Amino acid sequence: MPYQNHYNLADSVISHLDTVVSAIPDPFLQSKYVGFVAVTVVAVFELAIKDIFIEFSEKKHKVLGTYTRSQFERINGRIKIPIIRDEYCKNFGVKYSTSFKSKLDKAEVHYLRVQKKSIKNSYNNLLEWRHEFAHAGRIPTHVTYHEVTQSYTAGKEVIRCLAEAMIR
């Protein structure tokens, strides 16, 4: 399955919530949806990352694909950029880790120039907001609904860079 197919889940949730949230005049009440979006988005990112590594591994060798699939069943939120780069990519060879870092750095500069937003910070913020909501039981009050959806769009660039780096 192409990793982008997982985005359909988050995209449909966000599309629905956009209509709900836009009808709420109070920004405080709008922020109540931030946690739900962050949880959904991070789950989608986890699935996409798993698919990228499993697809890469299966193309290399059937046994490697089977092993990788079993290892990534336990990913459970361990998708911070340094973990992806220094653990997951590096397990397949330093060249993949280096390629991911290079592609991510280039994408960061481009996105900052064009969108005035950091893809790395956006991605990391989503992970923090999800953690705050799912594990600490707090609704992130310092972020708006619009910011979390913009961060999702920017965060997709991190996943795209990973997919481009993990090509034989």
Write the pLDDT tens digit of every residue in 49-91. Answer: 999 999 999 999 999 999 999 988 878 779 999 999 999 999 9
Place 94 in a pLDDT band, splitting at 50, 70 and 90.
very high
Structure tokens at 23: 């009808």
Residue 56 near residue 166 (C-beta atoms within 8 A): yes
Provide the pLDDT for residue 48: 96
Write the pLDDT tens digit of every residue in 23-33. Answer: 999 888 888 89
Residue 93 identity: G
Residue 145 identity: Y
Using CB atoms within 10 A of its CB, is residue 76 exposed (0-12), middle (13-18) or buried (19+)? exposed
CA-to-CA dists, residue 89 to 53, 68, 82, 107, 151, angstroms: 8, 12, 10, 18, 23
Q: Is the pLDDT of residue 168 over 80?
A: no
Residue 144 near residue 26 (C-beta atoms within 8 A): no
User: What integer is the mean pLDDT of 127-148?
Assistant: 89
CA-to-CA dists, residue 81 to 99, 118, 140, angstroms: 13, 13, 21
Q: Is the pLDDT of residue 17 over 90?
A: yes
Encode 114-157 in three state secondary structure.
HHCCCHHHHHHHHHHHHHHHHCCCCCCCCCCHHHHHHHHHHHHH
Residue 59 near residue 28 (C-beta atoms within 8 A): no
Q: Is the pLDDT of residue 136 over 90?
A: no
Provide the pLDDT for residue 1: 62
In three-state secondary structure terms, 43 is: helix
The CB density around residue 166, as the number of other CB atoms within 10 Å, is 21
Provide the pLDDT for residue 123: 98
In three-state secondary structure terms, 80 is: coil
User: What integer is the mean pLDDT of 4-20?
Assistant: 95
The CB density around residue 114, as the number of other CB atoms within 10 Å, is 8
Share of the chain above pLDDT 90, in %: 83
